[in-house]
Amino acid sequence: MLKALRTRISNLGKLFIWVVLVPTGVSALYFGVIASPIYISEARFVVYSPNQSVSTSGLASLLSSFGGSNSTSAAQTISAYISSWDGMMAVNKPYPLKQIYGNSHIDIFNRFGGIFHPYTSYVRLWRYYQSMVGDVLDSSNGISELKVNAYTPQDAQKINDFLLAKSQDIVNQLNATARHRAVFYAKQDVEQAKRSLRDATLALAEYRNSHRVFSPLHRAACSWVWSANCRIS
């Protein structure tokens, strides 16, 4: 039996053995025995900011434009933060990433500090973090998809939950900043309107004093009627 099998294998071409059998056997050995399981935690969210559609002019339009109506920009800001250095360091404070991704129970080929990632610096950890965590924004529907890869389901879920909470904080901060800016510019417009009203009132008073009239509009109306009567006669 073994002799017949050995003879049959020897009859196969060397190219077939090295191209098909060897890679297949190595892959089966790695993925079936060596490789650590990877767990993925996914979350989808939409950053929604209602627009002020009742009025499109004056103060209402100003508040709408500064009130965070551009939800796409907020979603892009969140996506950039999640993959940034600050995002990685924020996660690293409550959940030490070197321990999570460099655990000795993870196979030596995939873990941080293993054969393919023989590093210990935080810069290299950042690159490794970017390969395991990502946020993609679908511009067609505005839905953001947050995906976290880890070697235990608990690690994947807790990192995902933390990043979702940080994303909510970012949106709240952006909205608070927008409201502050809206109130600031609205106050400036009110002060400008007060100054314009004061200047107009002073100009009107000066005209009355210089021409000795109580109501310039009434006098202008009377002058127009008088001139019209003169033309008719």
Helical axes 85-92 vs 153-211, angle rounded to 10°: 120
Where residue 194 falls among pLDDT bands split at 50, 70, 90?
confident
pTM attached to this predicted model: 0.65
Flag whether pLDDT at 168 surpasses 80: yes
Cα–Cα dist 222/230, whole Å? 12
For 177-190, what is the mean pLDDT?
Answer: 82
pLDDT at position 192, please? 87
pLDDT at position 48, please? 73
pLDDT in tens, 7-30: 666 666 666 666 666 676 666 665
Where residue 222 falls among pLDDT bands split at 50, 70, 90?
low
Across the chain, what does the average pLDDT equal? Answer: 78
User: What stretches of the chain show up as alpha helix (H) in DSSP?
Assistant: 2-11, 14-16, 22-29, 58-66, 71-82, 85-92, 97-101, 122-132, 153-211, 216-232
The single residue listed with the structure tokens 């973090």 is: 129
Flag whether pLDDT at 94 surpasses 80: yes
